[in-house]
């Protein structure tokens, strides 16, 4: 975005849900930003002035908004989160011991720190090919440390867990208030 002279600054919030563009002159969202979002298959909605005003008090706050290469810092941080979550799952299921988990976490995190900052097309990142590559590479890291049979078991269980969580989220049980909750805790 910032390669275009009409754009003075481009920012992404920490959650990756809001992209803020500071125009050099007039707002050119339809002429410049929209085609870029469409090219990379990013759905977007232009905020109203009122919606943008709600975000402005926190705008540019350190560790809340990022520009350009700073976004890579988030990807590197996310590498640690993904690796930690994967080994925590396996530890909780008693599929790994602490020593195995530590070794796998370090290797996964290092792999993801490199992979998550590579420039790719959306199709290569999120398409079947990209998803399969990440899964295979991460499974290979686990297999190298504990053997293929155990690695396959962990990978299968982890993928089932993720799939279940996605289905649960899509089912609409995300009401915020207790009164409106469609899912009751047992």
Q: For the chain, what are the domain ranges?
A: 7-67, 70-165
Q: What is the pLDDT of residue 126?
A: 62
- Cα torsion angle, 93, 98, 103, 107, sign: positive
Using pLDDT thresholds of 50, 70 and 90, give the confidence band for residue 73. Answer: confident
- Of residues 170 and 95, the one with the higher pLDDT is 95
The yes-or-no verdict on residue 122 having pLDDT over 80 is no
Distance, CA of 162 to CA of 169 (rounded, Å): 11
Residue 140 to residue 148: CA distance in whole angstroms:
8
Query: Residue 123, SS3?
Result: helix
pLDDT class for 120, splitting at 50, 70, 90? low
Who has greater pLDDT, 126 or 177?
A: 126
Residues 11 and 58 sit within 8 Å (Cβ to Cβ): no
The answer, yes or no, to whether residue 86 has pLDDT greater than 70, is yes
Please report, for residues 43, 55, 64, 72, the alpha-carbon distance to residue 19 in angstroms, rounded to integers and kept in the order given: 11, 11, 12, 15
Query: What is residue 169's predicted lDDT score, i.e. its pLDDT?
Result: 66
Q: 121 pLDDT band (50/70/90 cuts)?
A: low
Q: Is the pLDDT of residue 181 over 80?
A: no
Looking at residues 9-37, what average pLDDT do you find?
Answer: 89
Most confident of 11-15, 89-93, 134-138, 175-179: 89-93
pTM attached to this predicted model: 0.67
């Amino acid at each position: 975005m910032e390669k275009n002279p009409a754009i003075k600054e481009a920012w992404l919030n920490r959650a990756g849900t809001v992209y803020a563009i500071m125009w050099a002159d007039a707002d050119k969202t339809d002429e410049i930003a929209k085609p870029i979002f469409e090219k990379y298959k990013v759905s977007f909605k232009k905020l109203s002035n009122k919606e943008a005003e709600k975000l402005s008090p926190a705008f540019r706050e350190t560790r809340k908004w990022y520009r350009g290469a700073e976004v890579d810092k988030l990807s590197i941080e996310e590498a640690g989160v993904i690796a930690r979550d994967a080994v925590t799952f396996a530890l909780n299921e008693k599929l790994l011991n602490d020593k195995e988990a530590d070794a796998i976490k370090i290797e996964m995190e290092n792999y993801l720190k490199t992979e998550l900052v590579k420039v790719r097309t959306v199709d290569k990142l999120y398409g079947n090919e990209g998803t399969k590559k990440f899964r295979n590479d991460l499974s290979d890291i686990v297999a190298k440390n504990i053997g293929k049979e155990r690695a396959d078991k962990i990978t299968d269980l982890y993928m089932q867990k993720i799939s279940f969580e996605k289905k649960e989220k899509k089912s609409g049980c995300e009401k915020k208030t207790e009164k409106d909750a469609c899912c009751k805790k047992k």
